Structure 1
Amino acid sequence: MKYYKTTTKYNCGIDLHTRQMYICVMDLDGNILVHRNIRNNDFGFFLKLVEPYKDDLTVTCESCFVCFWLADACEDAGIKFVLAHAFYVKSIAANKHKNDKEDARELTECLRTSRIPPAYVCPRDLRPARKLLRRRNKYVKNRAELTGHSTCEVMAAGNQPLTISANSKERWREGIRSSFDNPLDSFTAEMELSIVERYDEIIMKMEQRIEKHARDFKQQDYRLLRTAPGIGKILALTILYETIDIKRFPTVKDFISYCRLVCGTNESGGLDPAAGVECDHLFVSRGAGHRTGSNLADTEQEATQAANGSDTKRGSARVAEHGGDASADGAAAVWMRLEADGVRSAAGERC
């Protein structure tokens, strides 16, 4: 695990909530200089409290849905900010006594001793498009759950299973409507169909807005991703807005781990009870992974040749390390395309 190494004389941990934040400021020797609660998240009052230490101060808080305003405020105030990965900050949950005051002190202690596992702070100008992409993904999953439930209800009524595709939605809906004799069952099916149709309308509008506002972001990377089999317009933009900068991942292993395609280990006495448990995928779907992985040799060769001339051995070794897993292969293909474009751009700048 990677940890942030503090470089400032003073460090501040904040236990952040929607209506209050508990702050703790320490020096490098562990002496507590400020330790108090701030109601209504008054950042102006926070600046007054840390004014004597502001010029040599680092602030941290756990990653949560309300953390970005604090990151932006610290950036505007010229204060270093590091976002702590909430899942990996284990020491707070391990405390015998857990409250806001202790959480703030422990966060500061972790920062002072360079034990903060950092999370990435997405640039503020890219967050709206990323949020829209994530919300669209949520709605697609909700729609899939409803269509799956409707199809199961048809089979539960003793009918043949129905299939749905982009070209057969109307036939699928008519099949759902004609599958029930009981008026209440028909009414329930009709209500679910109404929700599915509404989701279709909303998702289409969201995709149109996404393509309008996001298509100018990293156009070269976007075009490279679209060359991978199984990666369409929205998936390519999702990958770009979740990755932001491929240089964040020095190796393909780092990128595949970020995509949650590498499970952690919990070994003790030579045994790992979590072995064989499948990891959650971040944005590289298994279907796209299978299609992308099938052409991975060509993908790797083209990307590596573009970056390094005829040297393809380096990329081949990377792919071989993943044991042929299709989703990992798909993520590796993505990384190689983006890395190749980055190397090519850097070479162009040097010329």
Structure 2
Amino acid sequence: MTIIKNIENTQSPRISVAPMMDWTTRDYRFFARLFNPNIIMYTEMVTTGAILFGGAARHLDYNNEEHPIVLQLGGSNPKDLATCTKMAQDWGYDEVNLNVGCPSDRVQNNKIGACLMAEPDLVAECIAEMRNAVDIPVTVKHRIGIDDMQSYEEMLHFVDTVAKTGCDNFIVHARIALLQGLSPKENRDVPPLRYEDVYHLKQDRPNLLIEINGGIKTLAETQEHLKHVDGVMIGREAYHNPYLLAELGQLWNLEAPDRFEIMAQMMPYIAKRMEEGAPLSIITRHILGLFQNLPGARKWRQALSGGNAKTLKDVETALINIQEAMQRTEEYIKENQSSLASS
């Protein structure tokens, strides 16, 4: 099966890792790419102000291995968004996405994120300017509703208004965002998931490419959602249990990579980043979940977290230790197979 090289020739289904502040950094994205060549990577949300006034390279640089990669922008000024979208295209990004889903107070005060769902005409103006500035796709990530705007009909009106610009790809977080009274963390868990609203949107607008996001943790759940929508965006589970990305390779009949092979590819990258002056802990924090649910996983996390690992040799030692723990467990299971089966 042909492997995805960029967004334009992305085969169905579209599977992506959600933009997550402080998590989906370029170090994490390099690591995540090693599990699956077809997963679409998103940057953290970057505001237009940060790009225009905070140093473009700092916010836009990425590793070539990260493709296909999407820049997620935060903003509500159509001209600024268009300028940053053009910069993203010139930088080599495959796609640009507008954030209409973040519920934090900080972004609300700057008219960024989920609060924009209450202003579909403004979002449409932003998307129109962004699309006119580039040839690459421009997409929208939004909630199913906010505060008093919680009905399916109101979400449909929002999507229809934006779709008139020619935008045909919507990534829908299947929870409302309660901007008054809940923290950003609570907005990830407290409002109930309403997957049916997203399914309904695809049924009502079959010409649009609809992707679903929110609380999805397994290959089986992903496969179930793909019966109803065009794509699935995985959030926190892809960070805490990154091997899920390898398991998702079954969607393209890909062979799952070995965890130790992944680390063999990761080690030269870590060495390179350290030569550039990056602290080891900045990088290792993204790989703590590599052995999630396996023997020795806790000791792996302890060895690499909190600044415990100070050199590459420390990482190599942690790898040896977890490999030995896994071998001991495997030997124990083989030696006690009959008694384990009967218990």
Question: Under a length normalisation based on structure 1, what TM-score does the superposition of the two structures give?
Answer: 0.29
By percentage of residues, which structure has more strand?
A: 2
Relative contact order, CA 8 A, sep 6+: which one is greater?
Answer: 2
Question: Under a length normalisation based on structure 2, what TM-score does the superposition of the two structures give?
Answer: 0.29
Task: State the structure with more CA Rg.
Answer: 1
By percentage of residues, which structure has more helix?
A: 1
